[in-house]
Amino acid sequence: MSTHENPIQPSGSLLLAATPIGDIEDASPRLIRALAEAEVVAAEDTRRLLALASRLDVRINGKLVSLHDHNEAERAESVVDLAEGGARVLVVSDAGMPTVSDPGFRVVREAVRRGIRVSALPGPSAPITALAVSGLPSDRFAFEGFLPRKDGEARRYLHALASDPHTLIFFESAKRLNDTLVRMAEAFGGTRDAVVCRELTKTHEEIIRGDLNSLIATTAGEVLGEVTIVVAGFTGHGDALEYAEAVIALAQEGMRLKEAAVQVAQATGLRANDLFRAALRRKDEAQRGEDEETRENS
């Protein structure tokens, strides 16, 4: 148990604690104290937490319970019951701040509903770290987390964000990164600036800057590690040809080309007629390319 006379957390409260996203040395002294002093530790993965505690050379003296995406809905009330009963309850996820694309939101909401004190122990955060190093505007931003896994849903989600002026932050798996960048180029235009941040704070940290077209080319091969994507917000500038692929993509999902042009126009502020003509031009160019390839192979 900690030798401090005043525990870092008062009895009967909930404390959210950020854990390292890569480099173990990012663990704060307050996190180490909180792990030792908590009477209950709700962890996304108890085995990973015990491994972290071992590396930090700290002993977890309290009751250890699992709190993850698949059980939080049913376990939130019992976790808050422990705080309401007077326990110091610490909530941690595998990496970064709980509730930010991680478990913890339902527990916090239930604690707030009951009037239980909720506080946070700040620390590492992949979205904020990526935003800080991106070089993109950081005065207005939105964290979007992971995109829907189904292709059509992901495309529609991105098209809905095409005219959002905020800098946008996404999580993505390394395996899906290139496909996601392709969808983003279709929705936002290939010349939209973006940054891919891989393995933040780790030994092999890599930050790749450019527009979406160049990032697609750069990530065409094998990519490993944890990935965060930061995309510049819509500025109201650009020409119709940049968004022609977005119109065509919507049409390929079953929408009439003119209707697709209207939808992209609403998202980008461009004229629907210009987008419609640009999409026809792109389709004609693609058809001519296919015809030439057929002649060369015949």
Tens of pLDDT along 126-147? 999 999 999 999 999 999 999 9
pLDDT of residue 273: 86
* DSSP track, 209-277: EEEHHHHHHHTSS---SEEEEEEPPP-S---GGGGHHHHHHHHHTT--HHHHHHHHHHHH---HHHHHH
Burial (0-12, 13-18, 19+ Cβ within 10 Å), 44:
buried
Q: Which pTM value belongs to this model? A: 0.78
Note the CATH number of domain 127-231. 3.30.950.10
According to CATH, the topology of domain 13-124 is Cobalt-precorrin-4 Transmethylase; domain 1 (3.40.1010)
**How many Å apart are CA 78 and CA 75, to the nearest integer?**
5
Question: What is the C-alpha R_g of the chain?
Answer: 24
Each domain of the chain, given as residue ranges in start order, spans 13-124, 127-231, 240-289
Number of residues that make up the chain: 298
| Residue-level pLDDT at 7 | 83
Strands (E), 31-157: 40-43, 63-66, 88-92, 117-121, 141-146
Which residue has 């989600």 as its token pair?
157
| Residues of the chain with confidence (pLDDT) below 50 | 1-3
Q: What is the pLDDT of residue 163?
A: 81
Q: What is the pLDDT of residues 48-81, one digit of tens each?
A: 999 999 999 999 999 999 999 999 999 999 999 9
pLDDT of res. 1: 44
pLDDT of residue 173: 95
